[in-house]
Amino acid sequence: MTVVFGIAAAFSVVAVIVICIFLFVRGIPAMAKVGLFDFLFGVDWRPNNNDVFDQALEGMYGILPMIVGTLCATAGALLVGGTIGYLTAIFLAKFCPKKIKGILSQVVNLLAGIPSVIFGFFGMRVLSPFLGIFTSNGSGSGIFLVSIVLGIMILPTVVSLSKNAIEAVPDAYYEGARALGASHEQAVFKVVVPAGRSGVLASLILGVGRAMGETMAVVMVAGNSPVFPTGLFRSFCTLTATIVKEMGYAEDVHLSSLFAIGCVLLVFVLIVNLILHMVSREKKSNRNGRQGRLVPDWLRGFYAKIDRPLGKFKKGCCYGAAAFSTVALAGIVLFVMINGIPHITWDFLTNNYTYGSGPTIMPALAATGLLIVVSMVIAIPIGIATAIYLHEYTKRGNKLVKVIRSAIEVLSGVPSIVYGLFGMAFFCTFMNLGTSIISGSLTVTIMILPVIVRSTEEALIAVPDSYREGSYALGATKLRTVFKVVLPSALPGILAAVILAIGRVVSESAPLVYTMGASPRPAPSGLSSPGTSLAVLLYYYTGEGLYLDQAYATAAILMIIVLGLNLLSTFLVKKLQRRTTGA
């Protein structure tokens, strides 16, 4: 069985290699035809579908405006979500009353489960018209709106990881600062928070990766003009948005150029993961003595006078950030539910779609159900086996383990639209599966694998070593101990991982648009049939602009499903924690 577990663990490495190979094989020809410098630094994007590789180019394929747009959107998201998330994490870790800490933490977790297409829908229907009141062109689309939407999206990542980093700082740091006369605020902001800066920085880097790879929400609120962003309310386009907008009709050089954009995105992801790896290994260094000599006495004295009022101000900012996070979730949920629930009808839920008939959601529910079943049947055994191999059968410092973990980190950071490109190239075309349920299922299987592996491994870590030692003392083998003792004890955590993965499948849209289907169609008759998932159907309804009532209803149903899954996952995790504590 060790070999079986090892093969399952190697799947992640193979997946990363195959994704890279297919993206670069399809993308390099366009880079060679256009010229790498002209492709990366060209300022005009005017593709021509008549362009073929054995003739002179008629179109223009410069992606610099999209690169700049992506970086600006990411920076804006980090400014909004990073700042608010950082302050919210400090509030939850050091200032939040215990009675409401659990509730607010759950609010953050729920915010993480909201599908990106709903964030985009909220931005398009609420924030964009509101911001349009203050603009000369009447449109709120642009960097400012994208920064707000992406900032809210990365909040949960920054909050949860920063909170864990701050809470991991030993209590002796805080107690020592208080013993030296520091106030509560001074001890928190001067000692505890700086001590957890590596974890906070890691959360910000992960937030950057999430913002950089976001697709559907950006498409809905950016305006999507392939030009440099010249103002806060000027239309612009990102790399991911360019792919999803043009993939449906691209051919030859144009199609290869979109794969080349996917290669650029993949390189960005690898850079982000490299930076994260470097940050995680950073050793803390103490430079306080040198810094103290560089600060003039008069400035040090002035700062000492305002230090306590400044601490109070920072505390107030933490309270304000936590309030914003809570209001953001409540606003999005109430907006969707109030506008969506009244339009949920029996016919909308049960009627099958026929060409020329009215909108319905039943085929999308059926397609989403098949998508979940197929992807879970494949991903669950591989994910659990990988987690078992990493935690139960390997030693720390093992080079193979480092390679596998690095591959899992890369898979978790790959933008969803890049998975869509790979799925279309590999499953739909190379394996000749076409646009179908099975193609979409295989694509999202690779996406959700890191979720299952990481959460399952955490559940295995939570099982006390005394359980294993007792089993070995009774003569049980390693394999029997794993299956009879460890896995049953970790079952609630594993179920929580599965539920989180299901929520990820339900929420995804970008990787399914061109692998499974992007428009209403009858209920699928089998795995080889095309189908439209709930999230993709919501994107279609909002994009058409003719079915807004049905879009609200679809968003409400999608929200209910995802939030229900997240609540169930949280319940199972708490059950595991109680069981472990009781032991």
Residue ranges in 35-115 assigned as alpha helix (H): 36-41, 64-77, 83-90, 98-113
Q: Give the Cα separation of 515 and 541 in Å (integer).
A: 19
pLDDT means per 10 residues, the chain with 583 residues, are: 84 91 92 92 90 86 93 91 90 86 77 83 89 82 92 87 85 84 82 83 82 87 88 89 88 92 88 73 44 43 56 84 87 90 88 77 91 93 91 78 86 88 92 93 92 86 86 88 87 81 86 87 88 89 80 90 79 66 53
Q: Give the Cα separation of 151 and 314 in Å (integer).
A: 20
Residue type, 556: A
Nearest to 66 by CA among 283, 242, 296, 277: 242
- The H or E element spanning position 311 is helix 297-340
Confidence at residue 540, expressed as pLDDT on a 0 to 100 scale: 87
Q: Give the Cα separation of 14 and 444 in Å (integer).
A: 16
Q: Give the Cα separation of 113 and 568 in Å (integer).
A: 12
Confidence at residue 286, expressed as pLDDT on a 0 to 100 scale: 38
Confidence at residue 24, expressed as pLDDT on a 0 to 100 scale: 92
Confidence at residue 307, expressed as pLDDT on a 0 to 100 scale: 58
Confidence at residue 289, expressed as pLDDT on a 0 to 100 scale: 39
Q: Is 205 exposed, middle or buried (0-12, 13-18, 19+ CB in 10 A)?
A: buried
2-30+344-582: which CATH topology?
MetI-like fold (1.10.3720)
3-state secondary structure at position 537: helix
Q: Give the Cα separation of 484 and 471 in Å (integer).
A: 9
Confidence at residue 293, expressed as pLDDT on a 0 to 100 scale: 41
Distances (CA, A) of 162 to 169, 192, 277, 414: 11, 12, 16, 22
Beta-carbon-side half-sphere exposure of residue 273 (alpha carbons within 13 Å) = 18
Q: Give the Cα separation of 187 and 94 in Å (integer).
A: 10
Confidence at residue 65, expressed as pLDDT on a 0 to 100 scale: 93
Nearest to 534 by CA among 549, 514, 556: 556
Q: Spell out the residues 6+ positions from residue 333 whose beta carbon is closer than 8 angstroms to its own.
A: 559, 563
Q: Which tokens go with 214?
A: 């976001």
Q: Give the Cα separation of 63 and 260 in Å (integer).
A: 10
Beta-carbon-side half-sphere exposure of residue 274 (alpha carbons within 13 Å) = 6
- For residue 60, report the phi and psi dihedrals to the nearest 5 degrees: -115, 135
- The H or E element spanning position 60 is strand 60-61
Q: How many CB atoms lie within 10 A of CB 407?
A: 21
Q: Give the Cα separation of 272 and 469 in Å (integer).
A: 40
Q: Give the Cα separation of 365 and 362 in Å (integer).
A: 5
Q: Spell out the residues 6+ positions from residue 218 whose beta carbon is closer than 8 angstroms to its own.
A: 73, 120, 146, 149, 150, 238, 240, 241
Considering Cα of 265, then 267, then 270, then 274, what sign does the dihedral take? Answer: negative
Q: Give the Cα separation of 457 and 392 in Å (integer).
A: 9
CA angle centred on 45, ends 57 and 220, rounded to 5°: 140
Positions of CATH 1.10.3720.10 in the chain: 2-30+344-582, 66-245+304-338
Confidence at residue 426, expressed as pLDDT on a 0 to 100 scale: 93
Confidence at residue 69, expressed as pLDDT on a 0 to 100 scale: 92
Nearest to 218 by CA among 251, 198, 194, 241: 241
Angle separating helix axes 548-582 and 297-340, nearest 10 degrees: 120
**184-220 pLDDT per residue, tens:** 888 888 888 888 887 788 788 888 888 888 888 898 8
Query: Can you give the pTM of this predicted structure?
Result: 0.86
Confidence at residue 308, expressed as pLDDT on a 0 to 100 scale: 62
Confidence at residue 579, expressed as pLDDT on a 0 to 100 scale: 62
**Residue 398 — left, alpha, or beta (φ > 0 → left; ψ -120 to 50 → alpha)?**
beta
Q: Give the Cα separation of 157 and 276 in Å (integer).
A: 14
- The H or E element spanning position 46 is strand 45-46
Residue with tokens 């639209």: 417
Q: What is the signed CA dihedral for 508, 413, 454, 171, rounded to 10 degrees?
A: -120
Nearest to 15 by CA among 423, 354, 372: 423
Q: Give the Cα separation of 305 and 303 in Å (integer).
A: 5
**Residue 432 — left, alpha, or beta (φ > 0 → left; ψ -120 to 50 → alpha)?**
left
Q: Which CATH superfamily is domain 66-245+304-338 in?
A: MetI-like (1.10.3720.10)
Residue with tokens 């399809």: 26
Considering Cα of 547, then 415, then 212, then 46, what sign does the dihedral take? Answer: negative
